[in-house]
Amino acid sequence: MALRDQPHDLGEMVDDVLPSSQAFEAGIRKGWIIVEINGKRFSRSERLQDIAKDFDSAKAKSATLEVKFDVRTFLDCTNADCKNSGQFPTNSLQRCAEACGQVIGCQWWAFGSNDDDTMCNLYSDTSGFVRSDSITSGPQACVPVPVMSNESGWPSCVTLDADLHNGKPLFADVRDYVQRDDEVRHRDIIFSSTGNIGMVLRETPHDLGEIVSGVQPGSQGEAMGVREGWIIKEVDGRPFNRSETLLDVGADFSRAKTAGTSLTVKFDVKTSMDCTNGDCKKSDKFSTTTQDQCAYACSQIAQCASWSFAVEEEDPMCWLRSDVPSVLRAHEGSMVGNNSCYPSRLGANFTMVAIVAVLAYAVYQYGGMVKGIATLPVLRRHFLKDPGLFNDKAFEMGGIDNGPDELESLMGQGAGNTNKRVGSNAGSTWQSASRSISSWGGKLASTFGTRTDGGHVDLNDFLEDDDI
């Protein structure tokens, strides 16, 4: 493999593949990006010479070498740079139209197949059209315009494929509503006592610990994947103390490095993303697993007028607004509701208690004793073996709790796949691509592609390919 002189942000890029080589026989292609060698992730501090040494070392030992490639980025984005691209892959016509509506400078979009992939292309100008049987195009104004549902009951009161981008953020204490398992929130990383750890800490600590404000290139921190915004909670089992200064924290690291060959640092890796500026006491968003919990939170928080639930960087998130915006923004996979749109927990509790009371009375009448209830398999399984069912959490079944696996992701899984979603699309002006969609504000040219001069923008937020 011949590698490009300058690396990609993700790794070393293959510039050419020699005929009859192992790489050629293995099917490696120009544009693939080396992200790992024998489990060791790419580091920008390494240069081509270091990569070559890794290969030579394995060859000298007659050992095999396992290389992990990114095989999609080169195809997905212009010049493999998704931060400066005029295209991105998607299976959704709606997602493509939404992207043009959200990207500054986009005037036209085109959606269709390209070399066996379904792609969205964004353009800053157009000089005319060329006929295409596989491309659907539209102007920037040609986007779906969702309308807030006027239904009253849950979940029909939910409006699908919309968000509250135009609303006023409501900053509130959301700590009671954040849902994260400990094993997801925290990560332990073992650093070597020798060598530069390379973490720059913010002068003012977070309530939970010291915040990483930067990671030095070539350091252990960079190699271990430490990111800006992570919070240091423990150093070798010693928890964070707010009375310590940065000098004290530096001394903690120095003592730990002197005491052994390694030191273990426990990080909170989620709080900085879960809440606005990492402050869950004053945030307009929080992580949660279901739309039910998001809606219920809005109903309980003072001044919350509306909520939205969607996926942000692979995490389900809830956003709170102090108003109900007159104009909703189209956003496939997102859902919104007002503060009266939430599942009724009281109704579920009352129904369960009523059922138990009726069945207990029936058993008493026909069996002569209330303990006969234990002979009923359904009740024994759901009530006697699970007394915790009567706590508040158990009755989240008041609404339809599909969970994150049942939600369509932000990246979309094809327009119209709504069979797994709850809520109402009533009032939405999105229509089939095969029809003239004048209600979007433009007409869709369903059999024409654009011939344009394109501008390149950051499209990372619209990528939808998963790791496999």
Q: How confident is the model at residue 263 (pLDDT cuts 50, 70, 90)?
A: confident
State the DSSP H helix or E strand holding residue 358, giving kind and residue range, or none if neither: helix 345-367
Contact predicate 311/317, CB 8 Å: yes
**Residue of 166, 331, 190 whose CA lies nearest to 265:** 190
State the alpha helices, DSSP H only, in 186-286: 220-223, 246-259, 271-274
DSSP secondary structure string for all residues of 92-159: -HHHHHHHHHHSTT--EEEEEEETTEEEEEEES----EEE-SSEEEEETT-S---------STTTTPE
Amino acid residing at 273: M
Residue 112 has pLDDT above 70, yes or no: yes
Q: What is the pLDDT of residue 355?
A: 56
Taking the C-alpha atoms of residue 212 and residue 189, their distance in angstroms, rounded to an integer, is 14
- Contacts of residue 341, defined as CB under 8 A and 6 or more positions apart, other chains included, come to 149, 154, 157, 158, 295, 307
What percent of the chain is modeled with pLDDT above 70?
71
What percent of the chain is modeled with pLDDT above 90?
32
- Contacts of residue 354, defined as CB under 8 A and 6 or more positions apart, other chains included, come to none
- Other CB atoms within a 10 A radius of the CB of residue 130 amount to 9
DSSP state of 334: E
State the alpha helices, DSSP H only, in 243-322: 246-259, 271-274, 291-300
Q: What is the pLDDT of residue 434?
A: 34
Superfamily of domain covering 2-71: PDZ domain (2.30.42.10)
Contact predicate 133/275, CB 8 Å: no
Taking the C-alpha atoms of residue 37 and residue 240, their distance in angstroms, rounded to an integer, is 36
Least confident of 49-53, 109-113, 221-225, 326-330: 49-53
Taking the C-alpha atoms of residue 79 and residue 69, their distance in angstroms, rounded to an integer, is 17
- Contacts of residue 342, defined as CB under 8 A and 6 or more positions apart, other chains included, come to 154, 292, 295, 296, 298, 299, 399
Domain ranges of the chain: 2-71, 78-144+443-462, 182-269, 345-398
Based on its alpha-carbon atoms, the radius of gyration of the chain, rounded to whole angstroms, reads: 27
CA angle 212, 213, 216 (to 5 degrees): 90
Taking the C-alpha atoms of residue 34 and residue 12, their distance in angstroms, rounded to an integer, is 5
For 26-78, write each residue's pLDDT tens digit.
999 998 999 888 877 777 666 656 677 777 777 777 778 888 999 988 888 88
Residue 466 has pLDDT above 50, yes or no: yes
For 413-434, write each residue's pLDDT tens digit.
333 333 333 344 433 444 333 3
One fold for both 78-144+443-462 and 182-269?
no
How far, in Å, are 1, 168, 336, 458 from residue 102 at the CA level?
39, 18, 18, 11
Amino acid residing at 166: N
Q: How many CA atoms lie within 13 A of 165 on its CB side?
A: 13
Q: What is the pLDDT of residue 420?
A: 32
For 288-337, write each residue's pLDDT tens digit.
999 999 999 999 999 999 999 999 888 899 999 999 999 899 888 999 99
Taking the C-alpha atoms of residue 317 and residue 179, their distance in angstroms, rounded to an integer, is 10
CATH architecture of 182-269: Roll (2.30)
Q: What is the pLDDT of residue 246?
A: 60
CATH architecture of 78-144+443-462: 3-Layer(bba) Sandwich (3.50)
Q: What is the pTM of this model?
A: 0.60
Share the mean pLDDT of the chain.
76
Q: What is the pLDDT of residue 324?
A: 94
